[in-house]
Amino acid sequence: MECREQQQCPIDTPDLTDMPCIDGKAGPFECKDVNLLSFVSLSSLGSNGDGNDIWGWTDPQTGKEYALAGCVDGISFVDVTDPYNPVVLGFLRTHTFSSIWRGVKVSKRTTKLGLALNMTISQGH
Q: What is the pLDDT of residues 58-70, one digit of tens each?
A: 888 899 999 999 8
- Provide CB contacts within 8 A for 25, sequence distance 6+: 31
d(C-alpha 52, C-alpha 10), whole Å: 11
The whole-number average pLDDT for the span 99-103 is 64
Q: Assess whether pLDDT exceeds 70 at residue 7.
A: no
Give the global pTM.
0.75
Helix segments in 20-96, DSSP class H: 42-45
Mean pLDDT, the chain, rounded, equals 80
Task: Tell me how crowded residue 40 is: count the other CB atoms within 10 A of its CB.
Answer: 20
Q: Assess whether pLDDT exceeds 50 at residue 120.
A: no
Percent over 70 (pLDDT), the chain: 66
d(C-alpha 11, C-alpha 13), whole Å: 6
